[in-house]
Structure 1
Amino acid sequence: MDNIVAEPLVVMPVERKNDTYALRIALNQGEFTPGMMKTVMEVMSKFNLTSLRVTSGQRLNLEGIAKDKLDEVVAAIGTSVKKAPPTVNVCTGVGLCKYGVQDSRGMGKKLLEIVLQNGPYPFKIKSGVSGCKISCGFSNVRDIGLVGTPKGWDVLFGGGAARNVRSGVKIGTKLSEDEALSLIVKALDFYKENGRKRERISGMIDRLGEEALLEALK
């Protein structure tokens, strides 16, 4: 790895129960470059860290950092933020997967731009984009879900995989990219207008009913 240039990382400290911290490494669609890998390996070796864990959100957690070493480790690895930037779970899509029928990675980038541009929201938003109905991007249980079909995109809104597990409401089917993104903007506006502070989209739908959402999106 001598010819690889180490890349600084953006990390979010997460306090653990055993008086240690993890550093959540912000990744774009789960991509972990050789430069990022070199940085992590050098830091793990320097501070004798032994656990690097993949999260369900396509990020990485560097675990087991002693509280009195946290600032030193952060300085060595990159930049610390209080809140990790939003991401979108994506599958490999039509470019790599033999089952893929839509470009999940390209759509994921466009969806992330929409989410960032239209905030703030009552609470966090998790999104998933899948290039086919197998739904490896966990699209059915995300606040915003996109599922690729041979005839376009199905759009789901208000899914959740936390305490109250529910599948998202299907608010559109067989839509073009532009149609799907426009519908998502409209649905996010409904959430901003009707969601309560720290209420996820699924909680809002449980409270107001699916009919209220579907009526607003007509």
Structure 2
Amino acid sequence: MHNTTTESVIVMPVERKDDTYALRLCLNQGLMTPGMLRRVLEVIEKYNLPSLRATTGQRMNLEGIPTDKLDEICDALGTRVEKCAPGATVCPGKGICKYGIQETADLGNAIVALVKKNGPYPFKIKSGVSGCKMSCGLSYVRDIGLVATAKGWDVLFGGCATRNAAPGVLIGESVSADEALKLLEKALIFYRENGKKRERTAATVARLGKEALLAAVKA
């Protein structure tokens, strides 16, 4: 570790109530290289920062950034952005987890690319990919959710984990990865064209009815 070359990190400032900031590390599927870890550790030690906290979106928040040091610490870490690029919560999948029945990483990346391709949207999109029905990718309550089956993927759209929590609408059952992506592209277009500003997918589906969504993805 001590011989590791440091690598820059993409960070997004998040304002806190106590007049400090957190810096969100914009990670892909929660993965950090040794070089990224070295860079973060050096910054924590140099500025005596209190904590590094995992988020439900498989990213990390470096907490306790003083306002007057924000720009300096952003530069020390790497690249500052106003908003992290879309990501996906992805479980380890078949290749790593003993419960996994399908591989997840490549499909997670494909979903992120699909979301980027078809935007912008009325509001943010959260995605989850789970290699089994234990749903460690939180797939049932994400805007986009994929859950592995023995024959392929169950595809859900419009899940919600907030006050009116509910699973997404099942728009595909035991389909291939390619079929799943085609269904999701139609669902994203449906949301892009029918959602109101700052309305999440779950609210759009609730307002228009799941029958309208199912009709759109089957067209």
Name the TM-score class by shorter chain.
over 0.9
Q: Which residue of 1 aligns with 2:67?
A: 67
Helix, strand or coil for the counterpart of 2:38? helix
Alpha-carbon displacement from aligned partner over 1:63-96 (angstroms, at most 9, x marks no partner): 0011111111111111110011111000000001
Query: How high is the TM-score relative to the length of structure 1?
Result: 0.98
Alpha-carbon distance, 1:214 to partner: 1.2
Helix, strand or coil for the counterpart of 1:116? helix
Alpha-carbon distance, 1:2 to partner: 2.6
Matches within 5 A, 1:1-218: 1-218=1-218
Alpha-carbon displacement from aligned partner over 1:161-196 (angstroms, at most 9, x marks no partner): 123211100000010111110010011111111111
Distance 1:26 1:193 in 2: 28
Query: What letter corresponds to residue 211 of structure 2 in structure 1?
Result: E
Identity of aligned residues (%): 62
Helix, strand or coil for the counterpart of 1:13? strand
Distance 1:193 1:15 in 2: 32
Distance 2:99 2:75 in 1: 42
Alpha-carbon displacement from aligned partner over 1:102-127 (angstroms, at most 9, x marks no partner): 11111101111111111111110000
Distance 2:67 2:209 in 1: 45
Alpha-carbon distance, 1:217 to partner: 2.0
Alpha-carbon distance, 1:216 to partner: 2.0
Instruction: List runs of 5+ in structure 1 lacking aligned partners.
Output: none
Distance 2:164 2:25 in 1: 27
Distance 1:172 1:29 in 2: 24
Distance 1:80 1:164 in 2: 34
Distance 2:26 2:162 in 1: 21
Query: What letter corresponds to residue 107 of structure 2 in structure 1?
Result: M
